[in-house]
C-alpha cells in the first residue's frame, strides 16, 4: 500500500511539483480550519454571554474573525480547485507523452500476449486522471486524519475519558466502511459477466437490423424474456446486498449516536457544575458531530485509497514487459 502511494507521489511531484505541493498544503489548512472556527465560535458565544458594554468591541472582533475564517475557507477551496486543474493539465501532456512513448517502444509480441492485454485493459484510458484522482484521495485521507486530531484536541480540555472511548467508535466505523466497500467490490466482480450479457441483449433489442432478424426467426420473445430474467437476477442481488450494507451503516450510526449522547450527558453535567462555559458547551456539542464526521471521512477515504491504488500495481506491471 505505502509503495503504491509512493509511486503515485513520485509521478505527481515529478511532473507538477508546485501545484501538487500547494494542493496538499491547502488541503491540510482546510482540514484544521474548521476546528479553529469552532474555537472562535466558543469565544464569540462566551463574549455574548457576558453581555457587558465594554465587551462589545471584543464581540465585533470575534464576529469579524469568524467571517474572515469562513471567507478564507472559501478562497482556499477555490484555489485548490485551480491547483487540481493545473495538475491534470500538466500530467495530461507530459506524463501521457512519456507513457505513450513507452507503449510504442514495446515489442509487437507484447500486444498479442494475454497478460499484457489484461494489464492494458486494467490501466484503461486516461491513466493520468486515475493517478491524479488517487493523489486527490490521498490528500483528502491525510487531511481527514489531521482534522480528526484537531477536533480531538478540543475534547481533551474537558474530558479525557470521552476521547479514550472514541477509538472504539473510530475502529467500528472503519471496519464497517471497509467491509461495505469490499462487499460492493465483490458484487461488481460477481455481476460483471451478467451485466455485460444483459447489456448485449439490450443492444440487440435496440438494433433495427438485429431486431428484424429476431422477428423473422421468431426469437424476439425469447431474447426479451432472457433479458428480463437477467435484469431481475441482477436487481435481486443488488437489493439483497444493499439491504445488508444499509444495516451495517445503521449499526455504525447507532454507535456514533451513543458516543455523542455520552458527550452531551457529560457536558450537561459539567455546565450544571459550572465546570465549562456556555461557549465551550455549544462548541463541543457541534464538535462531537464534526469529530464523528471526520473519522467517517477518513475511514471511507482510506478504504477507497486502498482500492484506487491498484492502478499503480498495473502501471508497475506494465514496465515488466
Question: Which residue has cell 461557549?
Answer: 279
Same domain, 142 and 5: yes
In a domain, 119, yes or no: yes
Same domain, 118 and 222: no
* Dihedral angle, C-alpha 189, 191, 196, 198, nearest 10 °: 180
Computed on alpha carbons and rounded to an integer, the radius of gyration of the chain in Å comes to 27
Q: By residue range, what is the domain housing residue 264?
A: 159-275
Same domain, 219 and 142: no
In a domain, 290, yes or no: no
In a domain, 245, yes or no: yes
DSSP category for residue 106: S
In a domain, 150, yes or no: yes
Same domain, 41 and 169: no
Same domain, 135 and 23: yes
Same domain, 181 and 264: yes
In a domain, 58, yes or no: yes
Same domain, 179 and 86: no
Same domain, 255 and 152: no
Same domain, 4 and 141: yes
In a domain, 288, yes or no: no
Same domain, 98 and 5: yes
In a domain, 285, yes or no: no
Same domain, 146 and 207: no
DSSP characters over 176-208: HHHHHHHHHHHHHHHHHHHHHHHHHHHHHHH-H
Q: What total of structural domains would you count in the chain?
A: 2
Tell me the pLDDT of the chain (321 aa) as tens digits. 677 778 888 888 888 889 999 999 999 998 888 888 888 888 888 888 776 556 677 888 888 998 999 999 999 999 999 999 999 888 888 887 877 776 666 666 556 665 665 555 555 556 778 788 888 888 888 887 787 777 777 777 666 666 677 777 777 777 877 777 777 777 766 766 677 777 777 777 776 666 666 666 666 677 777 777 777 877 887 788 778 877 877 887 788 778 778 777 777 777 777 777 777 777 777 777 777 777 767 766 766 676 666 666 666 666 555
In a domain, 101, yes or no: yes
pLDDT of residue 212: 65
Q: Are 85 and 277 in contact (CB under 8 A)?
A: no
Same domain, 116 and 251: no
Question: Which residue has cell 489484461?
Answer: 118
Amino acid at each position: 500500500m505505502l509503495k503504491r502511494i509512493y509511486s503515485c507521489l513520485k509521478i505527481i511531484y515529478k511532473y507538477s511539483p508546485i501545484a501538487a505541493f500547494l494542493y496538499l498544503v491547502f488541503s491540510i489548512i482546510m482540514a484544521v480550519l474548521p476546528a479553529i472556527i469552532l474555537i472562535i465560535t466558543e469565544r464569540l458565544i462566551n463574549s455574548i454571554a457576558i453581555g457587558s458594554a465594554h465587551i462589545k468591541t471584543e464581540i465585533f472582533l470575534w464576529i469579524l474573525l469568524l467571517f474572515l475564517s469562513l471567507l478564507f475557507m472559501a478562497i482556499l477551496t477555490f484555489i485548490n480547485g485551480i491547483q487540481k486543474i493545473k495538475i491534470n493539465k500538466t500530467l495530461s501532456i507530459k506524463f501521457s507523452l512519456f507513457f505513450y512513448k513507452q507503449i510504442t517502444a514495446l515489442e509487437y509480441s507484447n500486444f498479442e500476449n494475454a497478460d499484457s492485454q489484461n494489464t492494458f485493459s486494467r490501466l484503461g484510458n486516461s491513466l493520468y486522471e486515475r493517478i491524479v484522482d488517487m493523489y486527490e484521495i490521498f490528500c483528502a485521507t491525510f487531511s481527514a486524519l489531521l482534522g480528526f486530531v484537531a477536533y480531538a484536541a478540543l475534547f481533551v480540555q474537558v474530558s479525557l475519558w470521552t476521547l479514550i472511548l472514541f477509538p472504539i467508535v473510530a475502529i467500528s466505523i472503519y471496519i464497517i466502511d471497509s467491509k461495505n466497500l469490499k462487499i460492493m467490490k465483490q458484487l461488481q466482480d460477481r455481476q460483471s459477466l451478467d451485466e455485460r450479457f444483459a447489456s448485449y441483449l439490450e443492444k440487440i433489442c435496440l438494433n433495427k437490423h438485429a431486431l428484424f432478424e429476431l422477428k423473422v426467426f421468431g426469437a424476439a420473445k425469447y431474447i426479451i424474456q432472457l433479458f428480463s430474467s437477467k435484469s431481475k437476477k441482477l436487481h435481486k442481488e443488488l437489493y439483497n446486498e444493499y439491504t445488508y450494507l444499509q444495516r451495517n451503516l445503521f449499526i455504525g450510526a447507532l454507535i456514533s449516536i451513543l458516543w455523542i449522547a455520552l458527550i452531551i450527558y457529560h457536558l450537561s453535567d459539567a455546565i450544571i457544575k459550572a465546570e465549562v462555559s456556555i461557549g465551550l458547551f455549544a462548541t463541543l456539542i457541534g464538535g462531537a458531530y464534526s469529530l464523528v464526521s471526520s473519522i467517517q471521512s477518513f475511514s471511507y477515504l482510506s478504504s477507497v485509497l486502498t482500492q484506487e491504488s491498484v492502478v499503480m500495481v498495473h502501471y508497475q506491471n506494465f514496465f515488466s514487459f
